[in-house]
Amino acid sequence: PIVFLLDVLPADTVIDDADLAATITPAGDGSGVLSVFDLGPARGDGIFETIGVVGRHPQSVEAHLDRLTESAVILDLPAPNHAQWRLAIARAVAELPDVDQSAVRLVVTRGSGGRPTAWISATPADGFPERKNGIEVVLLDRGLPSDVQERSPWLLAGAKTLSYAVNMAALREAHRRGADDVLFVSSDGFVLEGPTSTVVVRIGGTFVTPPPSSGILPGTTQLALWAHLEEQGLPHEYRMLTPEDVLDAEAAWLLSSVRLAAPVRGVDGRPLPMDAGLTAQINDALRSRTD
């Protein structure tokens, strides 16, 4: 693994590249650099981003930095300095071995003693056979209403926080039920997102995803797909979806930065059609991003 620690800079600090580089320190393989009193590991109090890298190209960097900023605002953490993170991403990616795909992870925690902690890591990623084979998902009740963001902002819906224990427990529940992944449903009956992904379905030729206002994380991969569909003149919209909508869809995918588009093969054991051609086209478009 490749790891660098960052001295946290205010978002509006403008310094030259050499001084900026001095705020980013190699941290070996990352072992032994974090205090046990850091509120990241101690409470899951922090935020992160995972960026997909194809070859040596990190994808949708600005969208990830914008979302890191949004998460920082929601958690009352200092807004990140984009120039510093861009440089850190470039340095981490430059050290990657020559592989097809990798992942870069940006982390900011509340730290200790009032000082936030920040680091970046980069690791090669495995192949993703599910892009072709599809995934089996189960519907799991998230126990929260679709207006949670407005009603209970302290639950931090819409932020990418380090508190993923619940998301990982949901994945384990899916595995116990013989499935691969999860589609969360709100307590008022709307399909939300996966524990690490955005859901997109195709209904009557239109690509549909739930609106970010429904208490989900706005996906950077979904945003990139929307840009591609816009370019191709293909219809796409944000709309609340029910489980029945998904079961009746022409196709469905779970989208995320590293795995990209994984077609849904079945929901709670009921088969869903997979469109291999369209899936390949979507993944080609997502892999060829140059922004």
Residue span binding ligand PLP (CB under 6 A) among the ranges 8-16, 191-199, 241-249, 264-272:
191-199
Question: What does the angle CA 164 – CA 169 – CA 170 come to, to the nearest 5 degrees?
Answer: 100
| C-alpha to C-alpha distance for 108 and 118, rounded to whole angstroms | 4
Residue span binding ligand PLP (CB under 6 A) among the ranges 81-89, 119-127, 218-226, 269-277:
218-226
* Sequence-ordered strand ranges (E) for the chain: 2-6, 24-26, 46-54, 57-58, 101-112, 115-124, 135-141, 181-185, 198-203, 206-209, 236-238, 251-256, 260-267, 270-271
Task: Tell me: does residue 69 bind ligand PLP (CB under 6 A).
Answer: no
Using DSSP, state whether 286 is helix, strand or coil: helix
Residue 289 beta carbon to ligand PLP: minimum distance, rounded to whole angstroms: 12
**Between residues 3 and 61, which has the closer beta carbon with respect to ligand PLP?**
61
Task: Tell me: does residue 117 bind ligand PLP (CB under 6 A).
Answer: no
| C-alpha to C-alpha distance for 86 and 103, rounded to whole angstroms | 15
Task: Tell me: does residue 257 bind ligand PLP (CB under 6 A).
Answer: yes
Q: Which helix (H) or strand (E) holds 173?
A: helix 165-176
**Ramachandran angles phi, psi of 40, nearest 5°:** -65, -65
Task: Tell me: does residue 146 bind ligand PLP (CB under 6 A).
Answer: no
Residue span binding ligand PLP (CB under 6 A) among the ranges 28-36, 151-159, 194-202, 229-237:
194-202
Number of residues engaging ligand PLP in binding (CB under 6 A): 13
Among residues 81, 102, 121, 256, the one that binds ligand PLP under rule CB under 6 A: 256
Q: Is 38 left (phi over 0), alpha (psi -120 to 50) or beta?
A: beta
Among residues 214, 221, 279, 283, the one that binds ligand PLP under rule CB under 6 A: 221
| C-alpha to C-alpha distance for 72 and 69, rounded to whole angstroms | 5
Task: Tell me: does residue 255 bind ligand PLP (CB under 6 A).
Answer: yes
By CB under 6 A, the residues from 3 to 62 that bind ligand PLP are 50
**Between residues 81 and 220, which has the closer beta carbon with respect to ligand PLP?**
220
Contact 38, 109 (CB under 8 A): yes
Residue span binding ligand PLP (CB under 6 A) among the ranges 1-9, 138-146, 253-261, 272-280:
253-261
Among residues 116, 219, 263, 266, the one that binds ligand PLP under rule CB under 6 A: 219
Task: Tell me: does residue 241 bind ligand PLP (CB under 6 A).
Answer: no
Residue 184 neighbours by CB under 8 Å, 6+ apart? 140, 141, 142, 170, 191, 192, 193, 194, 195
Among residues 23, 149, 161, 196, the one that binds ligand PLP under rule CB under 6 A: 196
Binding site for ligand PLP (CB under 6 A): 50, 193, 195-198, 217, 219-221, 255-257
